[in-house]
Every structure is written in structure tokens, then in C-alpha cells.
Structure 1
Amino acid sequence: MYLPSYFRVEEPALLHELMRQFGFATLVSVHEGLPFATHLPFVLDAEHSRLEAHMARANPQWSSLEANPEVLVIFQGDHSYISPTWYEKHPSVPTWNYVTVHAYGKARLVEEPQAVKALLHRLVQQYERVWDMDTLPPSYLEGMIRGIVAFEIEITRLEGKFKLSQNRPATDRRRVAEALSHSPNPAEQGIARRMLADLEER
């Protein structure tokens, strides 16, 4: 992606944090010669630089992953419209602030039944607070598993872009963060918090 130096984030801990917080991401691959995208929950195994997920067997995207294993997973975090009225100096134009991580890698299907169950357990443990997958009748669980295709992605490259008005003067950045902090929109409040934290670090 287009990545000016002042928006680039390379610290693995920051990228991994966003990937976990916004784990419902977009898988992009080439299917029958064209881009194909599916929105899926992912589990990050940072220790082994790996992502895990599954999709419906009826989804044709998985059938081309072996032939075209190079994939992109887009993790989209908080984002917000930025009004030029919040800047100190004029004329100015609107923009959009956002945080995102692009994970590039190679996909591999996971087909061994116990490995698939273990992958599903990790997914449930990440997102579930009450329900236990092991409470399902074994025959029902096996039927559900037959209806999905599990896969893992070996991460080969991470790109982080945290566009937080770093190209503007500090006074403008504080004015923008202050305006966003009063918004009822949680995503805009998230951008405000990130902007203020970034200002404190500089």
C-alpha cells in the first residue's frame, strides 16, 4: 500500500496489538484470475508468525489457495473523517485518519481433523467468554466441521499504516484529537486516543 514514512509503523508489538483488537479482517487472494475477498475472524500466532482462520466449504475462494497461495489479509482499525475546520491555519482540505495493518503471506489448507478442531478451539477461546465448544454433541460438531475449510497463513511481511495527522503541526493534531474526543462515535474516540498517545511519545 501507499506508505509515506511519517505514517509507517514497524514495531511488531503495535501491529500485533491492532491485529488482535480488530481480528475480523479481509482475506484477499486470486481466484480464477481475479481478486477475491472474504471477511473472516482470524487468530494471530505471533510466536510463529502465523494467522489461522476458516471459511465455509461452499465459498469457492479456498479451492484456489493451493494453486495461488500468496494472500493479503487486511486488518482495518479505527478511522475517522477529519474536518479542515479543526485546523489552526487555512486554507486546508478534509482528510481521513485511520489505522490498518496489511499482512502478506502464504496460505496452506489444514485438513487433519484433530488439527482443525484445535484451530477452532483457539478461535473460540479468543472470542468467546461463556460458551464451550466441547459441549456440542460429537456428531453435530463433526458435521459442522465438514462444512468448513480451515487454513493457516505463514506471514512473510507486515505493513502498518497509522495515519494520525503526523504531517500536520502539533497544534493542529491536538485540535483534531480534542474535536474527535467529544464524538459519540467509538471509532472517532479511538483515533483521538491514538493521536494523543502519539503526541505524548514525540
Structure 2
Amino acid sequence: MLIHPWDAARTDTEWQQWLAAHDFGQLAVNGLPGEPPHVQPLHFVYEADHGAYGRALTHLARPNPLWAALEADPHVVLSVVDDYVYVPGPWQAAPDVPAEHGVPTSFYAAVQLRCTARVVDDPEEKADILNRQVGHFQPEGGSARAAAGEAPYGRMLSGIRALHLEVHDVQAKFKYASQKPAEVQDRIAAGLAERQGPGDAAARAHQVRRREV
């Protein structure tokens, strides 16, 4: 992904805090020879306190067609994109040109985790990964814990395979017009506030936040 200097994450904390609130993405796996890549949407748990860049944990059904490709090449990318909006051309016009000459663009936040995947088939480790996911998505509780060989989920563990994704590189991008003159940024922020479309509030918050750094 192209990342201009003004769109790059200012610190690791910036992308880590954003990723902590965005736990659904797409796992890209290289296809076997002659086959296209696999792109699998999934929920995941990101844990920053493991290794230099953290790890992601998830699971998929055993019949999923990507397993053979994943075992042939464990190098994958977990991609997460959100807080995206369309920015009309007139909002982006430079102060010294007609509004209709402005160039439209997209705003978005994106984090790509380059990982080495390890397929987990051990029942106890699978149960631990499931419990970590449920604990993240249901912190209020309400569900029984998974345990190998025990009801209610023990017999279901054979129907899934878990994934331990060790992150070894991160690309993070926050594309919110940080390079534009203050007058243009003010116009864009005002337009987002007035339009109030899906994603506009989050995009505006990023734009304002990054101006203050």
C-alpha cells in the first residue's frame, strides 16, 4: 500500500489504539500455483503484548478451502480498513482555484499486519484461542468457556482449526488530508460535519486529531 509521509501513523500507539477498536478484517493468503489468492473475511483478536509487533488470533471452519494454501505458504497479510468516506472535489479545491477544479478523493484508515501463520489443531490450544476471542467480544460474559473434551463445546472443536498469526511487520495509513493548507482542511471538516453521512464523524475526528499532533 502506498503511504505518503503525511499519511503515515505518527507513532505505534496511534495504529495500535485504532486497531484495538477494529477487530474485523480480511486475511489474504497466497494461492497454490495456478490459483488466485484466498481472501477470507473474519473476526480476530489482536494482542499487542506478544513479540515486537504483537499477534492476532482467530479460527475458521475445517472445510475452509484456504488450508492447503496456508500450509504451503504461511506468509499472510491481515488487512483492516475503516473510517472511510468520499470527499467531493469542491471541498478539496486549493484556495486559488475555482471550486469545480477540486479533485475528489477518499479518506480512510488502514492497517495491514504482515504475519507468519501457524495452524493450531491441538484441542486445548484451540479452546484457549476461542476463549480469548469470546472474552474480547463478550467482556460481559454470558457464554460457557470452551474446554477440550468437555460440554458444551468440546465436541465441536474438531470442526474448526485455529490460527496464531505472529506479526512481523505493520503498515499503517491515516489518509485525512494532513498535507493540505489549513483553509482546505477547515472546509473539508465543515463539509463532513454538515453532511453527517456514514463514517463522516469518524473521518472528521481523525482529521481534527491529526492536525493537533
TM-score of the pair, normalised by structure 1:
0.91
Equivalent residues in 2 for 1:1-202, closer than 5 Å: 1-9=1-9, 11-33=11-33, 34-48=36-50, 49-87=54-92, 89=95, 90=98, 91-128=101-138, 129-134=140-145, 138-201=150-213
In the TM superposition, what whole-angstrom CA distance separates every residue of 1:141-179 from its partner, at most 9, and x where no partner exists?
123222111011111100001000122111111211121
The structure-2 alpha-carbon separation of the partners of 1:174 and 1:126, relative to structure 1 and needing over 3 Å to count, comes to same
CA distance in 1, matches of 2:135, 2:187: 40
Are the counterparts in 1 of residues 83 and 199 from structure 2 also a CA contact under 8 Å?
A: yes
Identical counterparts, % of pairs: 25
Are the counterparts in 2 of residues 10 and 159 from structure 1 also a CA contact under 8 Å?
A: no
- Between stretches 159-168 and 184-193, larger displacement belongs to 184-193
The structure-2 alpha-carbon separation of the partners of 1:18 and 1:65, relative to structure 1 and needing over 3 Å to count, comes to same
CA distance in 2, matches of 1:5, 1:114: 44
In the TM superposition, what whole-angstrom CA distance separates every residue of 1:106-164 from its partner, at most 9, and x where no partner exists?
00011221111111111011111342233999344123222111011111100001000
Deviation at 1:10, TM superposition (A): 5.2
- Between stretches 137-146 and 14-23, larger displacement belongs to 137-146
The structure-2 alpha-carbon separation of the partners of 1:37 and 1:87, relative to structure 1 and needing over 3 Å to count, comes to closer
In the TM superposition, what whole-angstrom CA distance separates every residue of 1:36-55 from its partner, at most 9, and x where no partner exists?
10001111111111111111
In the TM superposition, what whole-angstrom CA distance separates every residue of 1:67-103 from its partner, at most 9, and x where no partner exists?
2000001011210000122245332111001000011
CA distance in 1, matches of 2:119, 2:92: 50
Give the secondary structure class of the aligned counterpart of 1:2. Answer: coil
The structure where strand makes up a greater share of residues is 1
The structure-2 alpha-carbon separation of the partners of 1:10 and 1:29, relative to structure 1 and needing over 3 Å to count, comes to farther
The one-letter code sitting in structure 1 at the alignment partner of 2:20 is R
Are the counterparts in 1 of residues 108 and 174 from structure 2 also a CA contact under 8 Å?
A: yes
Task: Provide the aligned C-alpha RMSD in A.
Answer: 1.9
CA distance in 2, matches of 1:193, 1:140: 43
The structure where helix makes up a greater share of residues is 1
CA distance in 2, matches of 1:10, 1:27: 25
Q: Following TM superposition, where does structure 1 have runs of at least 4 consecutive aligned residues deviating by more than 4 angstroms? A: none
Give the secondary structure class of the aligned counterpart of 1:65. Answer: helix
Are the counterparts in 1 of residues 135 and 141 from structure 2 also a CA contact under 8 Å?
A: no
CA distance in 2, matches of 1:182, 1:115: 49
TM-score of the pair, normalised by structure 2:
0.87
CA distance in 2, matches of 1:199, 1:47: 29
The structure-2 alpha-carbon separation of the partners of 1:179 and 1:130, relative to structure 1 and needing over 3 Å to count, comes to farther
Deviation at 1:199, TM superposition (A): 1.3
Are the counterparts in 1 of residues 92 and 104 from structure 2 also a CA contact under 8 Å?
A: no
- What is the count of residue pairs matched by the alignment? 201
